[in-house]
Chains A and B, each alone.
Chain A
Amino acid sequence: DAGVTQSPTHLIKTRGQHVTLRCSPISGHKSVSWYQQVLGQGPQFIFQYYEKEERGRGNFPDRFSARQFPNYSSELNVNALLLGDSALYLCASSPIARQGYTFGSGTRLTVV
């Protein structure tokens, strides 16, 4: 079974640009969450989607948005990139909300 897959694995963007990160959950998992992990910190919750609906949003600005598709894959979009958006972005999927979440390997975003 394939795990949670994220693409791309690494990305370098310039300040002010826009970025789209992609996530494919484990087959059968309907819940997808996004986290931001800045170097030296624990992951911080950005969004959760369950059955294609947004079920939760963390304390992030409106520059961050996401959506979930009918096949349960998800995209995270970040507009007007800032240097502080440089981080590892992690996607996690779960069959049912609150069960153990399986994380992907993440996308390393560097903003220069």
Chain B
Amino acid sequence: GEDVEQSLFLSVREGDSSVINCTYTDSSSTYLYWYKQEPGAGLQLLTYIFSNMDMKQDQRLTVLLNKKDKHLSLRIADTQTGDSAIYFCAEIARGSTLGRLYFGRGTQLTVWP
């Protein structure tokens, strides 16, 4: 559960959809999370998905999980300038230290008006 990979940058135009991708290495991961970090701030939990699910939707956010490819994605519909931030994918591996989240390096999302 130590290698969570994300692309570093994504730019979209306001009103378009954003898709942020993440790959993880631990096939036994139980929970997978998406966090948002605005400049100078802490982490805001956006959503999480349990490993026995394929999809989860929450308002403008859709999480897709492909367990075979160990691929997680976050789709933001109707992206707004306020969505500009760094987005982190994180996992908790089955059997790992309780509460130990493994984070990717984060994807910087820039939304252009």
Complex: A106 Cα to B39 Cα, angstroms: 12
Q: Contacts A42-B105, A103-B43, A103-B44 given: A98-B30 contact, CB under 8 Å?
A: yes
Q: Which residues of A contact B33 (CB under 8 A)?
A: 100-101
Instruction: Give the interface of B toward A (CB within 8 A).
Output: 4, 30-31, 33, 35, 41-45, 48, 88, 90, 92, 97-106
Question: For chains A and B in complex, what number of residue pairs have CB atoms within 8 angstroms?
Answer: 75
Q: Which residues of A contact B99 (CB under 8 A)?
A: 31, 33, 48, 50, 55-56, 92, 94, 97-98, 101
Chain A interface size, under 10 / 10 to 19 / 20 to 34 / 35 or more:
20 to 34
Main secondary structure of the interface of B (DSSP, over half): strand
Complex: A106 Cα to B38 Cα, angstroms: 12
Instruction: Give the interface of A toward B (CB within 8 A).
Output: 4, 6, 31, 33, 35, 40-45, 48, 50, 55-58, 90, 92, 94, 97-106
